[in-house]
Chains A and B, each alone.
Chain A
Amino acid sequence: MNFQQWHNVVEGKVAGAWNFHNALQNSDLDFFVALSSVAGIVGNRGQAAYASANTFLDAFIQYRLKQGLPASSLDLTAVSDVGYLAENAEKQAQVSENLGSETIREAEVLALLEAAITGKMAKFSNNHCITGLKLGSDAQDMFWANDGKFTRLRLAAEAESANNNTAAATLSLSRALKQAHSWDQALNLVCDGLMNKVSAVLMVPREEMDPSKAIVVYGLDSLVAIEIRNWITRELEVSLQVLELLTSSSILALAETILTKSKLAGNELMGNGTR
């Protein structure tokens, strides 16, 4: 990119914003809305000039707000049903590869515009609304997801997908338990299921967990204990006291307690298994 190319892209937005800001200084405005782009927020690849022009707009809007002037910025993602991208499938595919497949529609843009004009956006998003950027199970595939500012979104997305995975795994856990042939096999199933669940809920890597350690070692508090207790009730059909979780000497011991009380494991297993 040479300077002229940079200049062409940046000036419409940057100088445009300044020129109107200055020329309308004595006008009593109700609204000053900048249509910005999410490309700035993620630092879109191959669009350095365009991205920076948009982060300028976002900052400029905050500058106006600091001065008590009306201002909002709307960071749009790809709009699917009208405009340039809607008419250009190739470009749209390129955009969704970079930003994720989350697009918005004309009606949503208009609703956001209305929120900006009526002042609703001031209440809910500090007059800076970012669209798109949904982090789902594909979070790892988005180049921007590892940026520090997305940490909370990313962790939430990862926890959710881990939860979904354990949900899928536990479906087979109760079934596998019913089919277990020996006490030890059943105990292993319960112990593994428990560790998967604890790992997902407390965000402890599964490979760092040791079944001979107590769950509290991994940061279990009473709120999380309730969640795990409920999971045990639901998936293994055993009701435990929250206190039993908090005081059990190890994950393995807890698994043993669960298995002893479980209605899922076959009776004959219980008969010859109880030591």
Chain B
Amino acid sequence: MLSRGARNVVLLSRSGRVDGNVAKLIEEAHAINSQVFVHACDVSDKEQVQNLVFKGISKLPPVRGLIHGAMVLDVSPFVPLAVILLTSPRMFCSRR
């Protein structure tokens, strides 16, 4: 998505940890003048989601799209993960 012109991408996870692949992604984004932000957010928690949308990322350009990829498999807790994409110009606008 970054390679297709998304300028601002927000990644969410419960921990908000930035390491390994995520750290690498942030660097790669910088190299092409884009930004990847990582926020800690349990998406199943209404308040945390509202806080994120109305405070945490309110300084960024408006949200244009969302990929909801949260999952917890069986009883083994999996890190819920959701991705929000923000793009200031309409980068993915073939819909209209």
Q: Measuring CB to CB, which residues of chain A are less than 8 angstroms from any residue of chain B?
A: 1, 5, 8-9, 11-20, 22-24, 27-35, 37, 46-47, 49-50, 57, 70, 84, 113, 117-119
CB of B69 within 8 A of CB of A24, answer: no
Shortest CB distance A237–B (Å): 55
CB of B67 within 8 A of CB of A20, answer: no
Q: Which residues of B contact A14 (CB under 8 A)?
A: 44
Q: Which residues of A contact B46 (CB under 8 A)?
A: 15, 18-19, 22
CB of A70 within 8 A of CB of B62, answer: no
Partner of A118, one of B49, B74, B84, B92: B92
Tell me, in angstroms, the Cα distance from A254 to B65 when the chains sit together: 65
Q: Which residues of A contact B71 (CB under 8 A)?
A: 12-13, 35, 37, 50
Q: Which 4 A-B pairs have the closest CB atoms?
A: A16-B43, A19-B49, A11-B44, A12-B80
From B85, which residue of chain A is reached at the shortest CB distance?
Answer: A31
From B90, which residue of chain A is reached at the shortest CB distance?
Answer: A30
Q: Measuring CB to CB, which residues of chain B are less than 8 angstroms from any residue of chain A?
A: 43-46, 49-50, 52-54, 62-75, 77-78, 80, 82, 84, 90, 92-95
CB of A31 within 8 A of CB of B68, answer: no
Other contacts beyond A19-B50, A24-B63, A34-B67: 4, CB < 8 A: A5-B75, A15-B43, A27-B62, A33-B65
CB of A119 within 8 A of CB of B94, answer: yes
Tell me, in angstroms, the Cα distance from A50 to B80 when the chains sit together: 13
Tell me, in angstroms, the Cα distance from A16 to B84 when the chains sit together: 12
CB of B65 within 8 A of CB of A17, answer: no
Q: Which residues of A contact B63 (CB under 8 A)?
A: 24, 27, 29
| A to B CB contacts below 8 Å, 8 in the list | A5-B74, A13-B70, A20-B82, A30-B65, A35-B71, A46-B74, A57-B68, A119-B94
Tell me, in angstroms, the Cα distance from A152 to B77 when the chains sit together: 37
CB of B92 within 8 A of CB of A9, answer: no
Tell me, in angstroms, the Cα distance from A247 to B40 when the chains sit together: 76
Shortest CB distance B2–A (Å): 12
Q: Which residues of A contact B74 (CB under 8 A)?
A: 5, 9, 46-47, 49-50
